[in-house]
Structure 1
Amino acid sequence: MTIFVSTEWLAAELGKSDLRILDASLFLPGTPRDARAEFEAAHIPGAAFLDLDTLADPIDPAPHSLPPDALMTQRVQALGIDADSRIILYDNSPIRSAARAWWMMRLYGVGASAAILDGGLPKWLAEGRSTDSGAAIPAPGTAVARIDRAQVRTKADLRANIDSGNAQVLDARGAGRFTGTEAEPRPGMASGHIPGSRNLPYSALFAADNSLKSPDELRALYEGAGIDLNRPVITTCGSGVTAAILLAGLESLGKTDIGLYDGSWSEWGFDPATPKATGAA
C-alpha cells in the first residue's frame, strides 16, 4: 500500500478479512468535542476506535508520548490487529491526527502495512458514503508491537543538532505559535520555537476537499519554507501529532532521511533549560 489511499479504494476493500480500519481522531486541549462520542455517532463501516489520546506513556508528563511496547501490544490486539493486517487510519479532526497513528503503527512494526485515508471522514461523508453507528468491539488480534527507536528523535538529539546543523528542523505549528505571538494551548508553556527551525503549518498541505495536495504542490511548500529536500529533516510540532503530517508528506515525495521529535514543543517548551527563539524563521 501507498502512504495515502483514496476513499474509492477503501470503499472497494470494505469487508476484506485482513483489513483493519481505525478512527484515530484526536483534538487539541480545550476543543469542545468528544472523539469517542463522535465515533459512536458515525464511523466508516467496520472501523474501530483507536483512542489515540490515551495511547501514550502513562509515566511521561509530555502529552502523547510514545507508549511502552506492552501497552501498544495490548491496544492493537484489542483492536483486532494481526501480523498480516492491512491497517487504514482515518480521522475527523482539524489536526489530521491519523498521520500520528500511521507513524506509530509503522514505528512499532504493527501489521503488514499501514496507510492514511486521504481526505479522512470529512471526504468520505461529503461523497455520501455509508456509515455505521455504535461502539465496535473487534475479535482480539495477535500482533506484537516492538518500537524502532532509530526513527525517533529526542530532546538530546535536537539540542545537539542546534550546534551541528546536521538536520533541518521543520515545525508544523501555526505561524503565531511558532513566532511566539500566539499563546500555547497548554497553560504554563513557553512560546516560540527551537532555534534554527523552519515553519510550515501542517494545514497548508491539504486541499479544500481535505485531501493531500499534489507532489508538485508539496515540494513547493517545503522548499518555500526553506527546506532543502536533499538534506535530512526532523519534524516537530506541539506534541508530536501534526509533525507526523509533515513527515508523511516528505515521505510521499520519496525522502527517507527524516525523523520525528516525539516530545516536540510540549517537552521543549516546558523545560526552562532549553534555548528558545521567537519571531520568524
Structure 2
Amino acid sequence: MKWIKPSQYFLVFSLPLYLNFVQLALTAQAQLSQQNKTWQISQTFKPPKRGAPPASAGGSTRGGSCLADKKLITPLIPPNKLGLTLSQHPTFFWHLPESSVKTAKFLLLTDDDRTEFYTTSFTLPNRSGIVSFKLPDSAPALAIGKTYHWYFTILCDAQDSSENPIVDGWVERIQPELPLSQALAKANLQNLPSIYAEAGIWHEALTTLVQLRRSEPNNLKVRIDWRQFFKSVGLSAIAPSPVINCCTSKNSSSN
C-alpha cells in the first residue's frame, strides 16, 4: 500500500476549498463591478418606457418651395417624437437644408394644443446643417410632469401657409430620480452625454454632446460617440452635418 504524505493530504483537501473561495471572490467582484456600472459609458440613447404622445394634427414633415431641392427639415428627436428634459428652458435641435428664406417660427403649445405657451421667430443661417434654439430664460419655465407640443416652420410664403415646411414634436420636463441626480452631481462634461443617454433624457444628452463636439472637434472619442448616438435613433445620415451657431429670438410672446 502506498502512503500519501501529510503535505499531499493537505493539498487534496484544501484545493476544493481554495477553488470555492476563488469563485466566491470573483462573484463578489463581478457584482461590485456591475453596481459601479449603473451609469456605464454608452453613447446609445435608451428611450424611457413611456407612452407615445398624441398623433400629429397635420402630419409630420412636409417640404417647401423655398428649400433647396425641396428637401425636408429633420427634427432631432427620438423616434416616438417625445423628448424628455430636466431643464426649465431646454434646447431644441433641427437639421435644415439650404433655404432662400431666412425666417423661421417656433411655437410651443400646451393643454392639448389649446393654449399658446410660447412663440418666437428667428433668422436662419446661410448654409445647411444642425441648428439649435434654447428656450430663453425670459420665457415661462416648463412645468414638471407636463407635456408641450412644439412646431417649427420656415416661412416660405407669408400669405399661403400650405407652402411652409413644418415639423413638430413633444417635450416633457421630468424630475430626476435620486440615483440620476447623484450621478450628474459627480460627472464632468465628458461623462454627461452618456449619463443622460442611459437615462433617456433626450434634450440634455444631445445638448452636452453638441457642447463636446464644439469644444473638442478633433477628439476621436467625441466623434465616435456622436455617430453612435445618432445611429441609435435612426439619424445616421445627419451625423456628418456641421453644427451651426443659430438661433436667437427676434421677437417672442408667451402666455
- The two structures share one fold, judged by TM-score above 0.5: no
Q: TM-score, normalised by structure 2?
A: 0.25
Q: TM-score, normalised by structure 1?
A: 0.23
Query: Which structure: greater strand fraction?
Result: 2
